[in-house]
Each structure stands twice: as C-alpha cells, then as structure tokens.
Amino acid sequence: MSYEPVIGLEVHAQLLTESKIFCGCSTKFGQAPNQNTCPVCTGFPGVLPVLNKRVVEFAIRAGLATGCQIARSSILARKNYFYPDLPKGYQISQYELPICTNGCIDFAVNGAIKRVRLTRIHMEEDAGKNIHDLHGAWSLVDLNRAGVPLLEIVSEPELCSAEEAGSYLRTLRAILQYLEICDGNMEEGSFRCDANVSVRPVGSAALGTKIEIKNLNSFKAVEKALGYEIGRQTETLTGGGTLIQETRLWDENREETRAMRSKESAHDYRYFPDPDLLPLVINDAWIEEIRASLPELPEARKSRFISEYGLPAYDAELLTGRKDIADYFETALKTHAKAKSVANWIVGDLFRVLKERKLDEQLTITSWPVRAQQIAELVQLIDGGKISGKIAKTVFDAMLDSDRAPIEIVAEKGLEQVSDTGSIEAAVERILAAHTKQVADFQSGNEKILGFLVGQIMKATQGKANPQKVNEILRQKLKADR
Amino acid sequence: MNPAVLTLHDAGEKLRKHELSSQELTLAAFQRISETDEKIHAYITLCRDAALEQAKQADERLKRGGNPPPLLGIPIALKDIFVTEGVLTTCGSKILGNFVPPYDGTAVKKLKERGAVIVGKTNMDEFAMGSSTENSALAVTRNPWNLERVPGGSSGGSAAAVAADQCVAAFGTDTGGSIRQPAAFCGVVGLKPTYGRVSRYGIIAFASSMDQVGPITKDVRDCALMLEAIAGHDPADSTSADRSVPLYRQALTGDIKGLRVGVPKEYFITGIAPEVEQAVRDAIRLLVKNGAVVEEISLPHTEYAVAVYYIVATAEASSNLARYDGMRFGHRAGGKDLLETYMLSREEGFGPEVKRRIMLGTYALSAGYYDAFYLKAQGVRALIKRDFDAAFQRCDAIVTPTAPTTAFKIGEKIADPLQMYLSDIYTISVNLAGLPALSLPCGFDADGMPIGLQIIGKQFDEATILRLAYTYEQATEWHRRKPSL
C-alpha cells in the first residue's frame, strides 16, 4: 500500500506595531532583559488589558489580503496554563469567533497554481522567553516579548508535500511583508511555523493520525522535518506499526523529530471569553477604509508585470517575490522604460551580486550595491548604442558601491562605443591583412570563422567597436575580397 | 466630640469654613483607631505618616479657598483590594502578604488628585471571597455593634471602620454583595454602582465580569459625594462605560412622589428572618407614605442566582488567580523544581475558601464540563438579566432586604460554605445583571443588630436609588445610631 501525506500549517507572525497588544510598552527587539515591561505585561495584580487598535487593523489587513471574512463581532478568550514566561497564567488569544475566517492562499508549485484554504486568522499575545544555562541551576525569564502582538494563521490540511508547504510559507510571508505587518524573519522568530502532518493510504478520504511538529526555525527546517516525518510515518505504517497522536520536536542537528508530549498529556486550556475585554465590534466603514489602503500584493503585481511590461512569467515571478526588488525594478523603469532589458540586468548581474554579498538573505535590502537609477542609466546606454553589452559589464563593476553615473565612468575610461565607419573599416582591414589564412578559410565556405574574426576586431578596438557595425563591415569586405 | 464621628459632608463643611483642619480630623481618626481597633481589627495596614502629610497638603489647599472638591482633606479607608503604590496590598491573602505594588489604581489616583486622605487599608475576605471577613488570612474583624458577630464581607473591614468612626468614609468592592451586605450588617450605607460605572484598573480581580468599586458611608449624601469622586470612564479599563457622570448630590431632592417601586415576591420566601422582613415591609410603607407607588413584581429566575454566580464567579477567579505563582511577586515557597514551587507556593499562600473556588471554577471550565456548567450558567445569567429588564418596564427601582438575617456570630457559618453563600442570596442577582444597588439602615433586631434595606436601580441610574434612599433616610433616624464601643 502506498501512502500520501496531509499537511496543515499554523503560522505565528509577529506584528510590526510600535507597542504591545494590551499595553503601551515598546515592541523593540534586542533591548536589555525586562526593559520593555510594565505592570500590565508582567501580570501584576489589578491590571487590565486594553486592545491595541493597530493590531486589529493589521489583522484585518491580513484577512482582506487572503480573502477572509472579517467578523463584525469577535471574541478575545483566555487560554489558561502555567509557565514562567506567561505572567498572567493565561494567554489572551481568540478561540470561538476569531477575527478572520475562510480565506485562501494561492501559490505556485511545479509551474501550476495551487489554492489552500485558511481556516482562520486570529490575534493573540506572545509569551516571554525563558533563558536556561545562564545562571547556574536557575532559569531566567525575560518578559520583553510578553504581550508582543501575534497573528496565528491556520491553514486547512490541504498541503500534499514538503515542497508545497515550503512554497505556501514563502508566499504567505511575501504577503505579510507586502502588507508591511510582519518582517517575516524565521530565524529571529518573528515568523514561526508549527506543522501538522499525517499520512493515509492513497485514495483514502479519512485522515490519519495527526502529528504536530514544533521548533521549525527556517524554511529548510520545515521542508526537512516534513520530509523526515512523512518518511517515518509511512515506514511505521508499512511495517505494521501504529502511530499515536502527539507533538514532536524537530532536532536540527540530528535531522530527526522526537516525541515531546502525547495527546493524553496535552493541556486542557480551559478557554473562555476574557471578561476584561468586551466583544470586538468592527464596522463596515473601517473595513472598507483598510481595504482601500491595501497595497498591491505579490500575485497581482506579478500579473501586472506580465501584462503591463510584457515580461515573461519567469522574470515577473523573480521580480515580485520580494517587495523591495519589485519596487527597485519599478523605480528603474522611471528612468528607462525598456522593461525587459532592465529586468535582464536585475535578475542577471544584480542578483548575482546580491547573492555573492548575501544581501538576498536580508529581509529587506536597504543599501543596494547600485541604485535603481544607475542600473537604468546603464541599460539606457546599451539600448542607445552608446556602449556594448560587454563593455556594460565593465561599467557595472565600476559602478558597484559608487554613486557615479554610468555615463561618467564610460567617459572617464574612454569606453564609448565606436560606430563611425571609417575607424571600424580601418580596424577590419588591419585584421584581415593579418589573418589571410582565416580569410581564405571563410571564402572556401567555413562561415564559422567569422566569429573569430569579429573577436579579433573587438579585441583590437578594446571592445569599443559597435559589434553590429563590425559584422556588417566585415561581411562587406569579405564579399568584396572574394 | 471626636470629629471622626462626622459625616463626610459635615466634616467637609467644617473644613471649608476652617472650623476644623484636615490634620485635626485625620489625627482624630487615628485616635479613634488606636482606641478601638484592638477590638475590631478593621485595618490591615495604617498609613499614618503618609496620611498626615496628605492632610497637611489638604489644609494648604483648603487655605487657598476656591471651590475645593468634596473629598479634600477627608480621611477615608480603602479595602485592601485597592492597589496602592508603595503601600502593602494583601487582598487579605498570605500569598500577597509581602506585596508592595509599583503603581496606583485609577480610583486611588482620582482620590489622591481630589485630596482625600488615605488612612489605611482595611481587612477583607481573602480575594474578596466570603461574606463575613472570616476568610481573611490576616485578622478576624469584629462587628462594632457586637464584637461576637461578623461585620459581613467581603468588605467587612471598610464597613466596620465606618461604623466605628475610624474614618469618615471608606471604599469597598462588591462582586456578589460585598459592599451591601457588610454595610447592612454594620448599620451604614453601601452602594454598588452599575458595572462599568467605576474603573476596575488597580482593583485586584476576583470575578472580572462582576467586580465593582463603591462607597461605604455614614449616610446617603456621603455616598453620592464619594461616588462622584471615582465614577467615570477610564481608558485603562475596557469595560468601563464611556458616559458622563451626573452630579449625584443633585438627586437628593427628598421628592419621590410618583416613583414606582417594585417589590419582588421571590425575595420574601425562604430563610428570611421575621424581624428583617418586618423592617423592610415597614420601610416600604414609609416610602409609600412619602409618595412612592409600590407594586409587587416577579423576578422568576431568582432561585438560580446563587448557583449561576458560583459557576461564573469561580470560573473567572480560577483564571484571575493563576498569576499568583510565586514567580514575580508575593509568596514563593522553596520547591525542588518549577512544578513543586508552583504547587507549594499556592498551597501555602491560598486559604481554604480560595482553593475551593479555584477548584470549582477550574472544573466548570474544563473540557467536557464547559457547556454544562459555564455556558449554561451564562445562559441563565441572561435570563436573570431579562427578569430585571422586564421588571424595570414597570418600575423605577426595586426594594428588597439586603440580607436574609442580621450579622451572624463569628464561627457560626464558616464550616458550612453553602449556608455562608446563602447570606448573599438577595445581593447576587444584582451583580449578575450589572445593576446598581444600595443598602441603607432600616431598623434593628431585638439583639440590637442593624438591618439593611436594598434599593436596586436601572443600569446607570444610581441617581434614582440615591434619591429614594435619601428620602427614606430623611424620614428615619436609624443612620444616626452609633455602636457603643
């Protein structure tokens, strides 16, 4: 019997608000331990939460961007459990009546578009951090993160492979980044993922035993852990074993999952509506205001790049996968509107440099090796016949980390393309005279030799000769000499 | 005469006329405390130095004249559930036996701004759970009218302090009757405002959907002035109502002609002491004599109120009290690991009634029981609310006894929680419905113990119940009696 996996993902996205979800404390990362705290987020007796309106706005943005229904009335609930990083002994979250339900995300997989439905998106507060092994036998608690706003985004169990899961996650992250509500940093924990995975005999409609995997700190970890877990479950069932519903931890070093707790020892969180917070009522006018302010999202931008700029789907995909790159591209177009040639330089040479400098690992690129306007001017020089594509590479290298206009560099280095017929003819004649054997070869039918001759002429003109003209003149001369 | 026996409005007048200074008045209160509190144990913490400093500043403000706020220079007591910056705040519990808060709650801030002098923090049932103040982990408070009797609870310390003139007025909190019942037991006036009328920020939570701050005073006028001082919207409390606060003292017209008063038949059936019933019926006759129109009404779901309350309140409490884990403040036991530290801290820190309620509430919220208990209770709560809505279609206020009996003996009910719970039978529905209600003295039983009359109003209509209470008070002398100590 062969098995197929069924995967659902739960993403926790930290929101980019200035202050925490229920108090005025800063959300700034990297402060001294417990600096961003007050009686409210440390759960002192007598304090009360007040919901940050911005968090609601961000949740609505996420909901609208993923086609969710926005609840006109939703409930904040308490999730009760004891842990030192949870000061109140309960987390304020949403349970019944979350703010967003029934959305979907479309993403590309193997060249096709797949749609996965979202069960819900809800708001909740983050917990603090327990720090072990720093103070002897004691554990330390840093509550700076306690009360930082999160969105929990829950997909339906509709993903069918580790690869799909990765693609879904990247798309979701791009959406949140386009919305400017989450920076999407998996390593720093501002974009976290728990995966639920089960396997079932191919063709079966019933779901198998669900395993939850935690501690997935990168896209790679998600894909590897799912791959491992699908294999483990399949092998267990194939070998006649049974699976138990449990939570497993991904061990990055050993590249395996191991049991953390079973369903029997799972918490009873005793959810109930938080009596300190009234039901959250959202009016249509506010939703429409937010809808009107939504930015163009990755999918829409990609389609527009194809239709408006005539780009191939592949280029459009590469350029719109990140908002900063898409913005860079469109900024460049303001200087030089030839979209395809600008796109070529971005996905080609610029991407190579970004990769070399590991800038592509940054969440957003703030200091580009060359400015968008510079790259546009460079392409303009090529398209205007001022320099050849080959020379342009030299100019591009000279532009890196300098603020200089490409035309300046061309002038300074004397790289301007030579297009006047006289000097090209002279060069052609010199080369033909020096290569009589090759000329004879050509005339006896070996047309391939033409490339060699062009190369020699370009070399003689330090690459500055207009290659089209060189070709033209060379062919004329060879014909005449025949 | 010790000026601490004065009402707030009389003392305020003397202060404004410079016939008395706040420092004299404050010293007089402390004098009274030192004479009587060994017997009564109304206070947990006294703030003598800070109070005298506040009094000094109040005297300076009074000297400047102008139009000083009514509470300026008035020595008041706060139930130890009010979070006070730099002042021990125990909530009657061992688990907060060492807790000195880093902030002032909203009510405390308002009182300080208005120049009130804070005498000290009064005793209470632990976490406001109780009807006799016997559940305090710190002291047993005695009823000034009879030291063998309880002062009621949970705001027993505040009610006893007011009755014994150990302060001019006090504040308490009321989740199921915790202001009104001790006010009735101690022969003073107590008001639980509409849920949302007063900010809960800085009030240690027991049951968040019902907790409400209110005054305990020597007469109805004082009650109106005290409520004015603390009522109003607070952005720090999402459940506080964003509505303007009337000048309640203007409601004290003495005119109740044509006011429709409902008397619920369900409140005069089981367990009511004959003397209490008699006193309440007499009070109703007096209201009629003064022009009120009385009719019998029905609140059919009354019998379920106690059961609903002990599910909803304990459910909320089980969650509200989770923060007492020995980690950041309060009592921490030395456990060998995290779990044992949690368990021992709570085992040692909480008293039996608090533990009982945490267990009840935890059970009511547990998977598999939530629907049958918590959800069902919320459903019945809505029905109880609807009963009141229907009643208020026909009347402007509802009059009932505050408690079925007068103050019982210390130790009499402590071993029987269910009997204890029934002493709140007339007050609990009001909290479930979020309504305002007031208790004022309406007589004494044969043992010389005070009897309380409860007047329940429509949501945010404290003015009407104050008007009724004031008219009744003007026609009687009960509130002028003082215990002999």
Among the listed residues A89, A109, A87, A100, the one whose alpha carbon sits nearest the alpha carbon of residue A165 = A109
pLDDT computed for residue B106 by the predictor: 98
Residue in chain B lying closest to A267 (CA): B367
Whole domain around residue B56: which residue ranges?
3-259
- Residue of B325, B336, B366 to mutate when probing chain A, most A C-beta within 10 A: B325
Token pair in block for residue B84: 């006070």
For residue B329, give the DSSP letter: S
Does B79 qualify as catalytic in the annotation?
A: yes
Taking contacts as CB-CB distances below 8 angstroms, the residues of chain A near B200 are 48
For residue B110, what is the enclosing H or E element?
A: helix B106-113
Looking at chain A from residue 56 to 85, which residues have their Cβ under 8 Å from any Cβ of chain B? 78, 80, 82, 84
CA A282, A287, A288, A290 torsion: positive or negative?
positive
- Whether B104 is in a domain gets the answer yes
| pLDDT tens, position by position, A196-209 | 999 999 989 999 99
On the CB side of B185, how many CA atoms lie within 13 Å of its CA?
38
- For residue B418, pLDDT over 90 is answered with no
* B314 occurs within a structural domain: no
Pairing outcome for strands B189-192 and A90-93: unpaired
- Kindly compute the dihedral angle of the four CA atoms of residues A19, A21, A23, A24, in this order, to the nearest 10 degrees: 10
Answer yes or no: is B374 within a domain.
no
Could you tell me which of B126, B146, B39, B90 has the C-alpha nearest to residue B412? Answer: B146
B341 touches chain A (CB under 8 A): no
Q: What is the DSSP string of A393-461?
A: HHHHHHHTT----HHHHHHHHT-PPB--HHHHHHHHHHHHHH-HHHHHHHHTT-TTHHHHHHHHHHHHT
SS3 B18: coil
| B154 is annotated as an active-site residue | yes
Whether the CB of A46 is below 8 Å from some CB of chain B: the reply is yes
Query: What single-letter DSSP state applies at residue B371?
Result: I
Over residues B450-476, mean pLDDT: 98
Task: Give CA–CA dist B222/B75, Å, rounded.
Answer: 13
pLDDT, mean of residues B9-34: 97
Is pLDDT at A390 greater than 70 in this prediction? yes
Residue A194 CA to residue A192 CA, distance in Å, equals 7
CB contact B241 to A (< 8 Å): no
Where do the domains of chain A lie, and which CATH numbers do they carry?
A: 3-288 (no CATH), 296-413 (no CATH), 421-481 (1.10.10.410)
Residue B326's identity, in one-letter code, is G
**B178: annotated active-site residue:** yes
Which CATH number characterizes residue B105's domain? 3.90.1300.10
pLDDT per residue over A59-116, tens digit each?
999 999 999 999 999 999 999 999 999 999 999 999 999 999 999 999 988 878 899 9
* 3-state SS, residue B375: helix
Separation CA A453–CA A451 (nearest Å): 5
DSSP string covering B80-105, please?
A: TTB-BTTB---TT-GGGTT---SS--
Reading across the β-sheet that carries A69-70, which strands appear in turn? A69-70, A100-109, A112-125, A149-155, A3-14, A191-201, A211-216, A246-251, A256-262
d(CA B22, CA B224): 21
Omega cis (within 30) before B154: yes
pLDDT score recorded for residue A482? 57
Q: Is A137 on the interface with B (CB under 8 A)?
A: no
CA distance B33 to B48: 11
Are the C-beta atoms of B316 and B361 separated by less than 8 Å? yes
What residues of A are in contact with residue B354 (Cβ under 8 Å)? none
Q: What is the mean pLDDT of residues B65-74?
A: 94
The answer to whether B318 faces chain A, any CB pair under 8 Å, is yes
pLDDT at residue number A481: 63
pLDDT digits (tens, 9 = 90+) for A393-414: 888 998 898 888 888 888 887 7
pLDDT in tens, A296-346: 999 899 999 999 999 998 899 889 988 889 999 999 999 999 999 999 999
Q: CB of A245 within 8 A of CB of A262?
A: yes
- Using a CB-CB cut-off of 8 Å, the residues of chain B touching A277 are 238-239
Here the ipTM equals: 0.96
* B102/A39 CB distance under 8 A: yes
Residue B124 lies in a domain: yes
The rounded distance, in Å, linking the Cα atoms of A482 and A474 is: 12
- Do residue B328 and residue A270 have CB atoms under 8 angstroms apart? no
Using the beta-carbon criterion (under 8 Å), do B238 and A42 form an inter-chain contact? no
Q: Enter the pTM of the model.
A: 0.90
Copy the structure tokens of residue A48.
């009360």
Q: Into how many domains does chain B fold?
A: 1
A272: β partners: A78
Q: Torsion-angle region of residue B169: left (phi > 0), alpha (psi -120 to 50) or beta?
A: beta
Mutate to test the interface with A, among B83, B100, B309, B319 (most CBs of A within 10 A): B319
Counting DSSP H helices and E strands in chain A, the numbers are 16, 16
CB B322 to CB A44 under 8 A? no
Average predicted confidence (pLDDT) for chain B? 97
Q: Would you place residue A432 in the very low, low, confident or very high pLDDT band (cuts 50, 70, 90)?
A: confident
Contact criterion met (CB < 8 Å) for A82 and B342: yes
Is the CB of A270 less than 8 angstroms away from the CB of B89? Answer: no
**Partners of residue A14 on adjacent β-strands:** A150
Q: Lowest-confidence range among A18-22, A214-218, A446-450?
A: A446-450
Q: What is the pLDDT of residues B127-171, one digit of tens each?
A: 999 999 999 999 999 999 999 999 999 999 999 999 999 999 999
Residue listed under structure tokens 């007047």: B455
pLDDT (0 to 100) of residue B397 = 98
Determine whether the interchain pair A272/B374 forms a contact, defined as Cβ–Cβ distance below 8 Å.
yes
| Closest Cα in chain A to B362 | A270
Q: Which of B252, B296, B177, B230 is nearest to B464 (CA)?
A: B252
Q: Any idea what DSSP says for residue B334?
A: -
Query: In the 8-state DSSP scheme, what is residue B243?
Result: -
User: Are residues B96 and B45 in contact, defined by beta-carbon separation less than 8 angstroms?
Assistant: no
Mean of all residue pLDDT scores within chain A: 91
In a domain, B72, yes or no: yes
Strands (E), B378-468: 397-401, 437-444, 450-457
Structure tokens given for B37 = 């509190």
Strand B397-401 to B212-217 pairing: unpaired
Which of B90, B365, B370, B431 to mutate against chain A (most A CBs within 10 Å)? B365
End-to-end CA distance of chain B: 14
Q: Report the distance separating Cα A301 and Cα A320, nearest Å.
A: 7
State residue A264's pLDDT score. Answer: 67
CB-CB contact of A87 with A146 (8 Å): yes
Q: DSSP letter for B166, please.
A: S
Tens-digit pLDDT profile for residues B196-214: 999 999 999 999 999 999 9
How would residue B471 be classed by pLDDT, with cut points 50, 70 and 90? very high
Give residue A150's pLDDT: 98
Does residue B132 lie in a domain region? Answer: yes
Which residues fall within 8 angstroms of residue A241, CB to CB, at 6 or more apart?
none
- pLDDT, tens digit, 9 for 90 and up, residues A131-161: 988 888 888 999 999 999 999 999 999 999 9
B400 falls within a domain: no
Q: Is A316 helix (H, G, I), strand (E, B) or coil?
A: helix
What is the reported pLDDT for A446? 81
Give, as one character, the DSSP assignment of residue B336. Answer: S
CB-CB contact of B189 with B222 (8 Å): yes
How many whole angstroms separate alpha carbon B179 and alpha carbon B175?
8
Residue A10 Cα, gap to closest chain B Cα (Å) = 22
Rounded to the nearest angstrom, the minimum Cα separation between B175 and chain A is 14
Domain membership of residue B110 (yes or no) is: yes
Q: Which structure tokens are listed for B38?
A: 């060994």
Q: Above pLDDT 70, what percent of chain A?
A: 99
The total of other beta-carbon atoms located within 10 Å of residue A166's CB is 19
Q: A50 contacts in B (CB within 8 Å)? A: 235-238
Q: Do B207 and A275 touch (CB under 8 A)?
A: yes
CB spacing of A278 vs B238 below 8 angstroms: yes
Q: What is the C-alpha to C-alpha distance for residues A471 and B113, in angstroms, rounded to an integer? A: 92
* A232-276 pLDDT per residue, tens: 999 999 999 999 999 999 998 999 999 988 776 678 999 999 999
Dihedral sign for Cα atoms in the order A159, A165, A170, A175: positive
